[in-house]
Amino acid sequence: MSVRPRVSTWLIMAVAAGAAGCNKPRITVAGRVVSGGMPVAHATIRFTPDLDKGNDGPSVALRADDSGAFTSDRDRLVITAGENLVVVTVPVTGPQGDVGYRDHKFRTDIPAGGIINLIYDIPAKTPREK
């Protein structure tokens, strides 16, 4: 059995997956993740078109830098305009110094021309931690 057919199959699948968002215009989505006005470094911001609102397209994950800033331009990703469900995953440090992650959910309406001033404000503590 040859490895070449498997590699070809994976290559075709990768090209097809990459082309799935090609018919949509690439718009810029950028902003910051903060908590109490302070930047939240290294958060992951995942945009998923809201199917219940008639919006369809691929989910896209962006990564915030040290200053909490993120942009779709960095990775040249296609984010679908319209209603999106957004999950911001932030690293949290436990009492023993162990690192975990917490998800925060938002809804965002992305305009057809893009948006560059999104702010996702993460609460300092969840109701259970107060």
Domain boundaries, the chain: 26-129
Q: What percent of the chain is predicted at pLDDT more than 90?
A: 62
State mean pLDDT over 60-80. 93
pLDDT value of residue 23: 60
pLDDT value of residue 14: 40
- Decide if pLDDT at 13 tops 60: no
pTM here? 0.75
Residue 88 CA: distances (Å) to CA of 2, 12, 45, 113: 43, 32, 5, 22
Total residue length of the chain: 130
Q: Which fold has domain 26-129?
A: Immunoglobulin-like (2.60.40)
- Decide if pLDDT at 130 tops 90: no
More confident residue, 11 or 66: 66
